[in-house]
Amino acid sequence: MPYVGIDLGGTQLRVAVADDRGRLRTVVRHPTEAARGRQHVIKRIVAAVAEALEADGTPAGRVHALGIGLPGPVDPAAGLVISPANLPGFRNVPLNRILTRATGIPSFLHHDAHLAALGEHRRGAARGASELIYVTVSTGIGAGILLRGELYAGAHGIAGEVGHIVVQRDGPLCTCGNRGCLEAIASGTGIARAARESAPRRPGSALHGLLEPHAEDVVRAARAGDELATAILENAGSYLGLAMGTLVNLFNPQLIVLGGSVIKAGHFLLGPMRRSMNDSSWKAARRGLRIVRPALGDDVGLIGAVEFARLQARHARKT
Ligand SMILES: [Zn+2]
């Protein structure tokens, strides 16, 4: 029997219909239109599910389960969307119940970073690993954790908020309200902020005079040999490594999958990250540790959501 997987981001909504073995068969994509509020977004999800099922030639009544991944914080056990920063109007929304009622398909939500970890574990770069962490560094920084091959979400679904480990006391202000979070320093947003703040004082730098420097501008300038850009990436990499070293000591993983757009900065970021990770973790905790790139590309969220639906359906059959 088929499954439905949904990847709901602040910008894009993707819906897939997958076969019994989890292979994606039909995918539809639409803008989320998050700014238009909760009711509008929920309507769009329900309409996109109907569209995908129709394109696939599958009646809703034949679908086993629906899995949906979305930005945290969410509470998977309670089926609640708590308050994602980029989905305005979603405050304590019982989305499992709403989607189950609207589609007639048993629906299960989870944090998107966790589902990406699950997707890589079941079908991507992390197959066969039982203790693994998937870290994604892009606009924000998040992680999904699998222990003994199973998702670890914590008591209320908040585990894995690596981006909000405080790595610098009194450091830059984070979107969460704290200061010195990893995300405020090493995410794409943090790198852009560092460039914006330091470039005006460095007339010799290629970043000087850029009105709104982006993380990609910093990477491009570093590749061209710009000292300021190189130093910004080195600083970001070094703090990223500090947080990764903490994860390594805490969880002693076999595998870290490191993804997200910022990782494309390559050795400018990854060299300092490695050094700092090694300085801040035990050698014994790193024994046999592999750090790899994700294998699933843009569909990772959809594949993770489908795999989650398959797991939930299996749990339901057992109980
Ligand atoms: Zn924070």
Q: How far is the CA of 15 from the centre of ligand 1 (A)?
A: 30
Q: Residue 204, CB half-sphere, CA atoms under 13 Å: how many?
A: 4
Q: How far is the CA of 165 from the centre of ligand 1 (A)?
A: 7
Q: How far is the CA of 110 from the centre of ligand 1 (A)?
A: 20
For residue 308, the model assigns a pLDDT of: 98
Q: How far is the CA of 198 from the centre of ligand 1 (A)?
A: 21
Task: Convert the pLDDT of each residue in 9-58 to its tens digit.
Answer: 989 999 999 999 999 999 999 999 999 999 999 999 999 999 999 999 99
Nearest-angstrom CA–CA distance, 58 and 85: 34
Task: Convert the pLDDT of each residue in 258-283 to its tens digit.
Answer: 999 999 999 999 999 999 999 999 99
Task: Convert the pLDDT of each residue in 91-123 to its tens digit.
Answer: 999 999 999 999 999 999 999 999 999 999 999
Q: How far is the CA of 150 from the centre of ligand 1 (A)?
A: 26
Q: How far is the CA of 245 from the centre of ligand 1 (A)?
A: 18
Nearest-angstrom CA–CA distance, 31 and 29: 7
Tokens of 224: 């061209």
| pTM score of the predicted model | 0.93
- Give 271's strand partners: none
In three-state secondary structure terms, 4 is strand
